[in-house]
Structure 1
Amino acid sequence: MKEISLKKLKVVNTLIECGSAAKAAKVLGISPSAISYTLKQLTAQLDVSPFIRKNNGLKPNEHALALQEKYREIMALNTTRKKFIISTYSLIEFYLADYINSMIDGTLLHFITMDTCENERLRKLQHREVDIDIGGRLPKDVSIVSKRYLYSKMCIMASNNHPTINETFTLDDWQTNKHLRWQRDSGSISSMVNNMDFQTPLFREREISWESPNLLTLAYLCSSSDNIIMIPEVFVESLKGMFPLKSFRSPEALDMKFECYIHYHRALENKVNSLDLHNIFDPKPR
C-alpha cells in the first residue's frame, strides 16, 4: 500500500464510521469540501476511489476498509501505554480500581466524572478522550462496542440499627420511611432500571432526605440514619462489608431490574478484553 498520511487515514476511518461526508466533516471539525479534496487526493494516490457514492451516502470498498485497518493499527501502537481513562459510577470505580491494580502492575487508571449527556459520552469515546465508559446504554455507533455489563435485581437497604424494619420489608415501610436517592440528573439512573417511573405514586410521593450520584456516600448515610435506599443487589455484599447495613428483597410492586453497559472504541477491543472486567461481577440474570 502506498504511504498515506495519518490525517488522510483518519478521514477515511471517520467517513466509514459516519457514512456521509457531512457527518464526518462535523465530527472532524472541517468542511465537507475538505473531505472531498482529501478523497480526490486518495483517489490519485491509489489509482482508484476508496468509496462508492450511493443515494444514502458513501459506501466503502475494500480499499477504504484496508485504509481503516491501517489507521486502527497505527492508533493501537500509539496506545501501548498502560493507561486507561475510565468514566463510570463511584462504586464501579471502586471495584475496577481494586481489580485492575491487583491484576496489572504499573497500570495507570484515570477516572473522570461521567457526563450526564449521552451524546457527549459517545463523542468522548469516538475521539478516544475516554477509553472505557460503564453506565446507561448509549445509542448505537459503528465505531463503539457496547455490551451489557451488569444485570441485577433491585433491593432495599437499611441500617442494621433501623428501629422499625426487622425481618422483612413491606410497602408500608417504603411509604413511611425517608429515602436516599441515587441520582445524577433527571432520568440518568432510572433509565437503567426497568419499570422505574418517578411519576408513579410509589416514587413521586416519597420523602427524599438526600440525593447524590455517589453510592458510597449514600451507603454511609444509610448506615448512620433511619433512611432507606433502593440499590442494585449486585452491590449489596460489598456495601455490607464496609458499613453496618442489612438488605431486603423488594416488595412485588417494586420488583425491578438494573442493567448497565460497558462501551469502548473498537480499536481498543483486544486491550479491553484482556482485562477480563466481567470477572468483577456476575453479569448473568438472577
Structure 2
Amino acid sequence: METIDLKHLRIVHTLVQYRSVIKTAEVLEVSPATVSYAINKIRGVVGSHLFIRTKKGMIPDSIARDLSARYMSMLKEETPSESEVTDQPRTQLTIRSNALIELMQSLSSNSKKNKCKTIYLPQSKSSEERIYSLKNKSVDIDIGTRLPEDSNIMKIKMFSSKVSLLASVNNINMSDENARSLWDIKENLLMSADTMDYFCNNIEASIQTKEYLEKGNASLTSANSLNLIAFCAYSDSVMLIPDFFVEKLKSFFPVVAYPLPDKLEIFYDCYLHCNSELFEEEGVIESFGHIFNGSDDATRYTFPASPKGDITS
C-alpha cells in the first residue's frame, strides 16, 4: 500500500481543525491548490472522501479524524521526554471559545503580561468535535457550554449568569416599560449561531422560550456575537446576552441591558475544559481565573490547589 507523506498528513490534520481550505492554506503558508492536491492524494490512498463540503465548512469523516489523531501521535513520539521539558515553560496555548470569552481574555491585564502565545479557534457546536480536539491535544483549553462526561477531560464551572436583553442606549422602543413586550422584542431580535446555548429552569419556561425564539422574525443572524453587539449598539434591534458580559461591553459600546419579559427566564452556564494532563501543569489553568472576576450578576467559581475530577458547584 502506498504510504502517506507526513506533509500531507499535516494538511489533513489542519483541515480537520479549521474546516476551511483557505484557512488551512493560510495557517500552513501554502496555496489552496496545495491543500486540495494533498487531500486528493490521500483520498486515493485510503479510498475515502475524508471531508464533506457543507455550508458550515469541510466536515471530516471518521478516516480524516483517525489520520489527524495519527499525526498528533507521531508528533508526540518526536517530542522530548517529559523529564527533558519539565523546567521549560509552555510557549503556546490553543483555545476554543466563543467571541465574548475571547474578548474578555484579550482585555484582561494578565493577558498583557502572559508571554505564552495564545491561539484562538472558533467554537464548534459539536460536542464530539470539542471532545476529540481536547483528547488528541490539538486544543488545549475549551471554554463554553458544558461537555458530556469523559474520564480524560477535566471540567470547571466558571460562572452561571442570567440572560438579559441588550439594546442601544438610544433605542427609544426600549425606554418605555409599557412598550417593551414579547411581540415588540421578537420583531427586532437578533439571532446568533455563536454556540451560546441558553437554558431554562423549568419545562414550561423552556417550551415558551423555544417557541418564542423559533417563531421570531430575526433581522440578522451571525456566527459571531460581537458582530451582533455592534449592530445592536447602533440600531433598534435587541439581542440576548448573559449579564456576566454586560458591564465590560458598556465600556466599548453604547448599550444597556434590560430584564427579559416575565414569561421568559433564561440562563447561561460557562465551563472550562481541558485534557487531564494539562491540569497538572502549574499555573496554566489558574491563569484564566482572572477572566471571570467581573460581574456581580454572575456566580463565579475558584480553582482548588490540586483538582481531581470535575470541579463544579
TM range (shorter): 0.5 to 0.7
Identity of aligned residues (%): 25
Q: Distance in 2 between matches of 1:198 and 1:85?
A: 38
Who is 2:199 aligned against?
193
Structure 1's unaligned 5+ residue stretches are 1-25, 31-70
The correspondence of residues 78-97 of structure 1 with structure 2, limited to 5 A, is 80-97=89-106
The correspondence of residues 51-62 of structure 1 with structure 2, limited to 5 A, is none
Contact 1:239/1:245 (CA < 8 Å) preserved in 2? yes
Q: Distance in 2 between matches of 1:114 and 1:247?
A: 25
Q: Distance in 2 between matches of 1:136 and 1:264?
A: 13
Who is 1:137 aligned against?
146
Who is 2:111 aligned against?
101
How far the C-alpha of 1:243 sits from its partner, in A, is 1.1
Who is 1:170 aligned against?
181
Deviations 1:147-205 (A, max 9, x none): 11221000001111113221534334324x31111224xxx433x43355588432222
Deviations 1:193-237 (A, max 9, x none): 335558843222211011112111111100111111111111111
**Residue in structure 2 matching 1:232, options 242, 245, 251:** 242
Who is 1:208 aligned against?
218
Q: Distance in 1 between matches of 2:265 and 2:209?
A: 16
Contact 1:165/1:173 (CA < 8 Å) preserved in 2? no
Contact 1:198/1:204 (CA < 8 Å) preserved in 2? no
Q: Does the alignment pair 1:159 with 2:168?
A: yes
Q: Secondary structure at the match of 2:90?
A: coil
CA, structure 1 residues 231+279, in 2 after alignment: closer, same or farther (shift >3 Å)? closer
Contact 1:193/1:256 (CA < 8 Å) preserved in 2? yes
How far the C-alpha of 1:97 sits from its partner, in A, is 2.2
The correspondence of residues 249-268 of structure 1 with structure 2, limited to 5 A, is 249-268=259-278
The normalised TM-score by structure 1 is: 0.66
Q: Distance in 2 between matches of 1:250 and 1:164?
A: 14
Q: Distance in 2 between matches of 1:91 and 1:75?
A: 37
- Paired AA for residue 215 in structure 1: S
How far the C-alpha of 1:135 sits from its partner, in A, is 1.0
Who is 1:40 aligned against?
none
Who is 1:247 aligned against?
257
Q: Secondary structure at the match of 1:80?
A: coil
Who is 1:272 aligned against?
284
Q: Distance in 2 between matches of 1:193 and 1:156?
A: 15
How far the C-alpha of 1:262 sits from its partner, in A, is 0.5
Contact 2:104/2:291 (CA < 8 Å) preserved in 1? no
Deviations 1:9-63 (A, max 9, x none): xxxxxxxxxxxxxxxxx89979xxxxxxxxxxxxxxxxxxxxxxxxxxxxxxxxx
Q: Secondary structure at the match of 1:189?
A: coil
Structure 2's unaligned 5+ residue stretches are 1-65, 71-79, 301-313
| Length, aligned pairs only | 214
Q: Distance in 2 between matches of 1:76 and 1:144?
A: 23
Contact 1:149/1:278 (CA < 8 Å) preserved in 2? no
CA, structure 1 residues 112+181, in 2 after alignment: closer, same or farther (shift >3 Å)? same
Contact 1:197/1:203 (CA < 8 Å) preserved in 2? no
Q: Which has the larger radius of gyration?
A: 1
CA, structure 1 residues 197+264, in 2 after alignment: closer, same or farther (shift >3 Å)? farther
Q: Secondary structure at the match of 2:130?
A: helix
Q: Distance in 1 between matches of 2:220 and 2:141?
A: 29
